[in-house]
Structures are given as structure tokens and as C-alpha cells.
Homo-oligomer: A and B are copies of this chain.
Amino acid sequence: MKFGILVQEGPYNHQASDSAYNFIQAALEKGHEITGVFFYNDGVINTTKLMDIPADDRHISKRWSDLGAKGIQLIVCVAAAKRRGINPDVLIENARIDGLGQLSELCIESDRLITFGD
């Protein structure tokens, strides 16, 4: 089945980002397709490459980028990103900044859209 994912909260501050990641891993293991991850609200902060994380903790933005490298599209809402200082210069690899229309596309392409937030 095709799952689309909406992430509404920033990394570390809320568990939403971790739950979304764990859900995606479990879905992939079961052979499902992830149509894309859309980052909205503070969720856009997941995609900064400037995070500097101690070795004993998970590196959330790197984890997303690795998922993007596997071909899962990572879409960062441009309007939400601008408000929070996320721009192409600080964006992780394998993600793209795009419009809210892409969330609409994601809803259409997916059998299920599941939201992780606060």
C-alpha cells in the first residue's frame, strides 16, 4: 500500500519526528511504499544540515537525508520554511523545498496519509 507522511513538529523537541521515522521503517519492512514525507509547521526544522549532534544520540536530519537517498521524496513547505530560517543553503541532501500544492499531490497519490505532530 502507498503511505504518505506529514510531519508537523521539529526534531528532538517533540517525538513526532521519531514516530514518523519508526513508522516509515516498519512500513518499508513490510513491503509498503512511502510516497513521500511532507514537512510542515515546525516540521521543516527536521531538514537543516546544520545540526550538530553528539555521537551517542541519533542524528535526525542525517537520518531523513539517508531515507531520501533511498528514493523517498522529502518535501519541505516553502512558506513554513521561510518563517523558520530554512532555505536551500542549509537544506539537507535529498530533500527539496516546494509549495503546499505538493501536499495535495501527496494526498492524491497515497492510499493513506498519516500525520505525526503535537
* A positions within 8 Å CB-CB of B: 10-13, 41-42, 45, 48-53, 61, 82-87, 89-90
Bound-state CA distance A49–B45 (Å) is: 14
A interface majority secondary structure: loop
* B90 and A50 contacting across the interface, CB-CB below 8 Å: yes
> Hey, which chain B residues are within 8 Å of A42, CB to CB?
10, 13, 42
Shortest CB distance A74–B (Å): 15
- Given contact pairs A50-B87, A52-B85, enumerate 9 new A-B contacts (beta carbons under 8 Å): A12-B84, A45-B45, A48-B84, A50-B85, A50-B89, A51-B85, A53-B82, A61-B85, A85-B90
**Which residue among A13, A51, A53, A61 has the maximum number of chain B CB atoms within 10 Å of its CB?**
A13
